[in-house]
Structure 1
Amino acid sequence: MNIKIREYRKTDADAVMKIWNQVVEGGVAFPQEDPLTEYNADAFFRQQTYTGVAEDTVSGDIVGMYILHPNNVGRCGHICNASYAVRKDVRGEHIGERLVNDCLFMAREKGFRILQFNAVVASNIHAVHLYERLGFTRIGTVPGGFHMPDGTYEDIILFYHAV
């Protein structure tokens, strides 16, 4: 697969929505409980500071995506937050790593100084290992901070990285 990370376009809405919804419906990574629809997906992706997509330049398929947006306002407005999703059938091919690296670059381009993750689910070991490998600093753990689909609560880990 030959992957290029590029800016989201309106024509990407359906493919990007499906990838996003795979994670939402899985219920073990994103805090959202309701999937996006064809009526609100494009507006959601366009309202972000930046939405990036991973495109296979050979097939033209969208295989991953990320959103980048402020984590807070005012005196903390220099801190951003992001979410990443890779299509289920191509996970494990380092697309997530490409998305995170592009996001760090875009965060700097957009004037942010810090990328902070507020809620990395502790059992999401692939994400935890990726962020640690890329030099993110573990800030701490919130015990029971994530409500799992089975009704249990799992710890979340906070990370940051200077951009």
Structure 2
Amino acid sequence: MSSAYGAIARPLSAGSLGSVLPRHATLRQQPTDQQNSQTSQNQATLLAISKAPSPTATSFTLSASTHATLVNAMHKVFNTEVERGDTYPQEFPLDEEQFANYFLGGDAFVLIKGDYKDAGDVESKGNAEEWDKDLLGFFYVKPNFPGRCSHICNGGFMVNPRHRGLGLGGIMGKAFLKVVPLIGYKASMFNLVFESNVASIKLWRRLGFKEIGRVPNAGRLRGQGELGGDAKEGYVDAIQFYWDFESMPVPAEYDA
């Protein structure tokens, strides 16, 4: 899988993702949802999504080729965030191949609206726009360093802006902590959580991640200064968060 160090192999699996996937969650209710609290519209399912078709189909993995329009919707959400210029380090939108290599190059997971018991129950849709109401968020897991340090992973998270306010960050953050050890990683490190991203910082602190460092002036972000131009770019520090799975047990309440 691709990284700043080139292609890095994922660790040997330490367990089966099938023991925690599909993973189900109840969405935080909005005032307009009170009458529908028992419907599938308030349920979400986390599944793995694979860039290449698996030789053996699983009950928890979607194929990017079968659900190409879902990947297109993920791509669109990601590029919209990149164009905002205030959370991810990429300066320009990624094309289809670049996005697939970046977000689907390791282990990737997608959170979709509905209560699915099997990946095969997720119907394909005709285009990316049809996915917008059901695509809630997604994240990747891949090595942060090469070789002798490849037991430490990195994660990247994305919430569909249409569905903010439903507690999606917490749902995906807890799921991340459950799947990472099964993939085989011993620790996780988030390199660049910009201090201007208040919601993300609050989330990782609330979930129990350790703050292990700060990178001064790590990002040249939009809306943060007076460097010139309409974007009012400025330099922002980044906080680094860490989880050591061997010394920091995942709380039992994160199981659901």
What is the TM-score with the length of structure 1 in the denominator? 0.91
* Change in CA separation of 1:111 and 1:126 when aligned onto 2, cut-off 3 Å: same
* Match in the other structure for 2:111: 54
* Match in the other structure for 1:16: 74
Give the count of matched residue pairs. 162
Aligned residue for 1:72, secondary structure, equals: coil
- Give 1:78 shift: 0.7
- Give 1:151 shift: 2.9
* Match in the other structure for 1:7: 48
Contact 1:52 1:65 in 2 (8 A): yes
- Give 1:159 shift: 0.6
- Give 1:45 shift: 3.4
Is 1:64 paired with 2:122? no
- Give 1:40 shift: 3.9
Specify every segment of 5 or more residues in structure 2 that has no aligned partner in the other structure, as ranges: 1-41, 50-62, 116-130, 223-231, 246-256
Which one is further off, 86-95 or 32-41? Answer: 32-41
- Give 1:39 shift: 4.4
* Match in the other structure for 1:36: 94
The amino acid across from 1:7 in the alignment is A
Is 1:156 paired with 2:156? no
Aligned residue for 2:72, secondary structure, equals: helix
Q: Which has the larger radius of gyration?
A: 2
Q: 2: CA distance between counterparts of 1:40 and 1:117?
A: 21
* Match in the other structure for 1:81: 154
The amino acid across from 1:53 in the alignment is V
Structure 1 runs of 4+ off > 2 angstroms?
36-46
- Give 1:38 shift: 3.4
Identical aligned residues as a percent: 31
Aligned residue for 2:91, secondary structure, equals: coil
Contact 2:45 2:113 in 1 (8 A): yes
Q: Which residues in structure 2 correspond to 1:81-160 (within 5 Å)?
A: 81-149=154-222, 150-160=232-242
- Give 1:130 shift: 0.4
Contact 1:118 1:158 in 2 (8 A): yes
Contact 2:187 2:243 in 1 (8 A): yes
What is the TM-score with the length of structure 2 in the denominator? 0.59
Q: 2: CA distance between counterparts of 1:151 and 1:138?
A: 26
The amino acid across from 1:151 in the alignment is E
Q: 2: CA distance between counterparts of 1:45 and 1:63?
A: 16
- Give 1:105 shift: 1.6
Contact 2:140 2:156 in 1 (8 A): yes
Aligned residue for 2:90, secondary structure, equals: coil
